[in-house]
Amino acid sequence: MLPRHRVCSVHLATAQHVAATTNGQLLLLECLERDDVTPLIAALEQTVQEGIALGWPVGYTAICLAVLQSQRTDDPQEAEHILDAVTLSDEDPPLLDDIRLLARCAVARRAGDNEREAVLMRQFLERQPMLLEPSRAFDVRLLQYQERLKPLYREGRVHTGVSG
């Protein structure tokens, strides 16, 4: 676990980087509008490299980068390899593995592997008490895919007696 002052400095540095690239969200929107995430991938690669050089945690950024890179290939094995290449630390939240798992679901869908997709979707829904926050899914271009899971998510809540 990082000391409190270290966590604050990491968050501040992250905020400064986002402000410096400012418009991290603006860049994302521009890339999505053009349907070309190449500039976003380049910015994320730079952020990961700088973070590693400074000894900062880069798990979230590295997962986002891997998800976006995995979406650029039609080869499901290559996409899985890209996703698997990110090593998360004990300090990284479990959410990052959930993002990776949702990306694997999308890879299986793109590959037309319905059986694998169904298995991965069940794993995701078992691990993730709620679906990903829409902003998180949006950041890695998985929001549209996650929308496909809503009926399954609602069905699971009905079967467990949870209302919402």
Cα–Cα distance for residue pair 104/136, rounded to 1 Å: 16
Torsion of CA 58, 124, 74, 41, to 10 degrees: -20
Task: Please list, in sequence order, all residues whose beta carbon lies within 8 angstroms of the beta carbon of residue 95, skipping any fewer than 6 positions away.
Answer: 132, 136
Full 3-state SS string of 75-109:
CHHHHHHHHHCCCCCCCCCCHHHHHHHHHHHHHHH
- Between 162 and 42, the more confident residue is 42
Instruction: Using the Cα atoms of residue 138, residue 43, residue 64 and residue 145 in order, give the sign of their dihedral.
Output: positive
C-alpha of 87 from chain center: 14
Task: Please list, in sequence order, all residues whose beta carbon lies within 8 angstroms of the beta carbon of residue 127, skipping any fewer than 6 positions away.
Answer: 94, 97, 98, 101
N-term to C-term CA, the chain: 34
Confidence of residue 23 (pLDDT cuts 50, 70, 90): low
- Cα angle 99-100-105, degrees, rounded to a multiple of 5: 95
pLDDT at 61: 93
pLDDT at 74: 94
User: Which pair of tokens denotes residue 68?
Assistant: 């976006």
pLDDT at 157: 55
Q: How many CB atoms are closer than 10 A to CB 139?
A: 20
pTM, whole model, 2 decimals? 0.79
| 22-26, 31-35, 101-105, range with the lowest pLDDT | 22-26
pLDDT at 22 over 70: no
The model's pLDDT over 118-155, given as tens digits with 9 standing for 90+, comes to 999 999 999 987 899 998 898 889 999 999 888 888 88
- Between 18 and 83, the more confident residue is 83
CA distances from 159 to 26, 129, 163 (A): 40, 14, 10
